[in-house]
Every structure is written in structure tokens, then in C-alpha cells.
Amino acid sequence: MSAPPTAVNRPSLPLRLLRSPVGRILVFAVTLSALGFIAGRIYNGIGLPRGSLPFDQVTPLIEAFRLLPIVIAYWLLVRTIERRRIDELAPRKAIPHLALGLIGGAALFSLVVGALYALGVFVVDGVNHDVAWLGPILVTGVGAGVGEEIISRGVLFRIVEEGLGTWASLIISAAFFGGVHIWNPGATAWSAIAIALEAGLLFGLLYNVTRSLWLCMGVHAAWNMAQGPFYGIPVSGFEQHGLLASHMQGPEWLTGGAFGAEASVAALCICSMATAVCLAVAIRRGTLVPPPWRRVPQAPVV
């Protein structure tokens, strides 16, 4: 007769709490705060400029100090607490997924601009020949694409989905994503809702069907870079000096107001169609995670 299963290998209570969804999110937040404090002290110690800088004054070193705490905190979370490979950032996926994301993000925002142009809302006045590309691309592209996707999709969406299922995760992560943009220049309650619906839901479902942060980063980065450095439209409230000298005209519900095209109904409609496509793919592939009360219990391994 085989011996009954024992709980010898059962993790301790503190470890189970650390590995719970709430525990992992808290671990990431605390680790990020600690690493951010250390990075801030080093940043000030080597004499880099303090305060909020114009985009064109941001250098690769400055942006690295902003991003490294997020990247390292995520690496520590996955490798030490979750004890797994970081498959969502697997090196083999980097080039193809980033390329696909960059193309998709640029195309998606170009569809928005095309709709606004057809409606007479987006007007091109000329071409700027003195565009400072590096800083805006570092901030709106690399910074937002990497940092915001790790936090919003890699941590919040992924972990909440494990605990509560895809639908709850979409709502929570989208609300968080819209909420953090409420502090941006020109932001309103409507702009935060629009960001939550058009980007929060889209990027969440995009991660659900691909399980790739590279792809989400590419789409996010290309959307922002097309919007600001290329089309010259404010990015989430931050004014841009882009390749195209442009302006918006018409009602704020179409132009997006001071916040930019992300608060436009046109952007909301086009992104919602992309979200619907991702949802259809998720349903077809069966990637939607049910809430815990609807999951089939796994038989214990003996």
C-alpha cells in the first residue's frame, strides 16, 4: 500500500502569502519604491538635472535611471518570488514581437489621424525641420512603452487575472491605467475614462491573447511616437514639437482638447474595434481566465 500524501513540501504560511496575488503586487510595489529611492540618491549624487525636464532635454542616462528600478523590480518578483522564467519577456520574442507591435501601434494611431483628417479636425500646417527626436522618443516611446506596460500589464493585469480572472483583471487594470493619467496636463475625468477604455482594455486583451509584453510595449511605444514626434499631437496632455506642424480644430469631443487625440471619440471608437477583435480572438482561443468560483479544481498529484 502506498503511503498517504504528506504536507512536507507545502510552503510555509509567509511564503504562501508572498506568492498570493496581493502579496506579489505588494512585493513589487515595495521593491520598486526601495530601488527608486536608491536610484534617486545615485542620480542626485552624480549631478544629473533634477525636477521635471522638457522631453528634448532627456538623455538615455536620465531615462535609464527612471526605467531600471521598474525592470529590476519586475525581474526580482518573477525570479525570486514566482520562481519562473520570464516568458513574457523571452529574448527570442523580442525582435519579432517588438517589430509587429511597432508596426501595429503606428498603423492604429495613423487610422485615428486619418479619421480626424477626413473629418477636417486634424490640419497640417507644414513640416518642422528642427525636431529633437531622441528625448521625445525616449520618454514617450521607450519610457512609457516599457515602464507602463511592465506595471500595468506585467504586474497588475497578469497577477489579478491569476487571482480573479480575465474580466475582473481587465476592469481593475484599465481603471488603474486611466487613473494614473488623471494627473497629466490637460487631463479631465473624460480623458481618464477614454484612456482606460481605449488603451487599458486593448492592451490587457492584447497581453491575454499573446502573453507577450514585448508586443504590448511595441504597440504602446509606436502609438505615442506616432502621436507626438511624428504627427505633432499632444501625448496624454504633453505638448509636442513633431515632424508635422499641425493643429486641431473642432469640438473637444472630436479633438480631444488639451489632452490630445487620446481623448477624442474617434480614437475611442477605433481602439474599441481593435479591442473587439482581440476579444473575439481570446474567445476563439479560449484564453479568457474564468473567476476562481468557476474554475475546475485540479486533482492533487500523489
For residue 88, what is the DSSP state?
G
Note every long-range contact of 233-236, with CB atoms under 8 Å and residues 24 or more positions apart, other chains counting.
Answer: 233/113, 233/122, 233/260, 233/261, 234/186, 234/258, 234/259, 234/260, 234/261, 235/140, 235/260, 235/262, 236/181, 236/184, 236/187, 236/195, 236/260, 236/262
Asked whether residue 42 is assigned to any structural domain, the reply reads no
- C-beta separation of 259 from 184 below 8 A: yes
Alpha-helical regions (H) of 165-260: 166-180, 189-195, 201-210, 213-225, 252-255
Asked whether residue 244 is assigned to any structural domain, the reply reads yes
Mean pLDDT of 167-187: 96
Asked whether residue 65 is assigned to any structural domain, the reply reads no
142 φ, ψ (degrees, to nearest 5): -65, -50
Asked whether residue 124 is assigned to any structural domain, the reply reads yes
Per-residue HEC secondary structure of 237-275 comes to: CECCCCCEEEEECCCHHHHCHHHCHHHCHHHHHHHHHHH
Question: Could you tell me the residue range of the domain that residue 271 belongs to?
Answer: 90-291
Asked whether residue 37 is assigned to any structural domain, the reply reads no
Q: Is the pLDDT of residue 253 over 50?
A: yes
Asked whether residue 5 is assigned to any structural domain, the reply reads no
pLDDT, tens digit, 9 for 90 and up, residues 53-105: 999 999 999 999 999 999 999 999 999 999 999 999 999 999 999 999 999 99
Tell me, what's the pLDDT at 10? Answer: 78
Asked whether residue 200 is assigned to any structural domain, the reply reads yes
Q: How far is residue 263's CA from residue 158's CA, in Å, rounded to a whole number?
A: 26
Share of the chain above pLDDT 90, in %: 88
Total number of domains in the chain: 1
Asked whether residue 81 is assigned to any structural domain, the reply reads no
Mean pLDDT of 113-135: 95
Q: Which grid cell is 301?
A: 498529484
Tell me, what's the pLDDT at 8? Answer: 52
Tell me, what's the pLDDT at 2? Answer: 46
